[in-house]
Amino acid sequence: MVTTAVLYRREGLALHTGIKRLASRGQMSDAWITLVFLTLSGGFQDAYTYHTRGGVFANAQTGNIVLFSTHLFDGDTSGAITYLAPVCAFAFGVLAAQYIRFRARDRQGFHWRQKVLALEMVLLMGVGFVPQSINAIANVLVSFVCALQVQAFRKVEGNAYASTMCIGNLRSGVETLEVYLRTRERVVLRRALAYFGMLVCFALGAGLGSWLSPLWGIHAVWLCCAWLMISFLLMFAQGENADAM
């Protein structure tokens, strides 16, 4: 009969093997260093739209759905649409990322994830020019960018992860930490620390966003373009598997 301890050891071994295989394929798109800058950008965008674009969390669609429903039940149709628009933009962003991925299959040139990052940078650069009188457009664009990033970058060192939200990373980090406390497998601890590191990066990005947005105004979002460019360039360090999720 297989004991719980043996199962946990097997889980740690399987994870370690997966990471080694990932490294051999050279997937810089889910290397920790690449995703640090994406996560900084994710946190910054949320703080930016909240402080500069009318108190909307453009990356937190759960909150937008709650606020949409609240305004709708209060009879405030205009307010409801304000929060529904980013949700719809997020959905279209997922579709766009998938379209880019499958259109880029077997083509030479940039990896499809780099094309996603290039589109993100162009859109966020444009957001910096959108006046506050039409914040709704800016929030829609940021939500679209959020969806592109969530759909294209879904793993950190081979493990499921999100760069623009925290709840999934927090759950996975605590769950993995519990496994480590049972097994003392270093590879499992590495996985837990990767998740907690991403939470710190998101919080740092949000903090910088809340500090710089009032100072730089609508142009503050351009800092995200710089971070995304770093991730874009890092992906040239090793070859990418075009079919990898």
Domain ranges of the chain: 4-234
- Tell me which residue of 150, 200, 179 sits closest to 12, measured CA to CA: 179
- Ramachandran region, residue 127 (left: φ > 0; alpha: ψ -120 to 50; beta: rest): alpha
**With contact defined as beta carbons under 8 Å apart, do 124 and 143 qualify?**
no
Which H or E element spans position 225? helix 222-234
Q: Would you state the structure tokens that stand for residue 44, as one six-digit string? A: 């910054």
Chain segment 174-190, per-residue pLDDT in tens: 999 999 999 999 999 99
Considering the chain, what is the average pLDDT of its residues? 85
What is the CATH number assigned to the segment(s) 4-234? 1.20.1250
63: pLDDT confidence band, cut at 50, 70 and 90? Answer: confident
Chain segment 186-232, per-residue pLDDT in tens: 999 999 999 999 999 999 999 999 999 999 999 999 999 999 999 99
pTM over 0.85: no
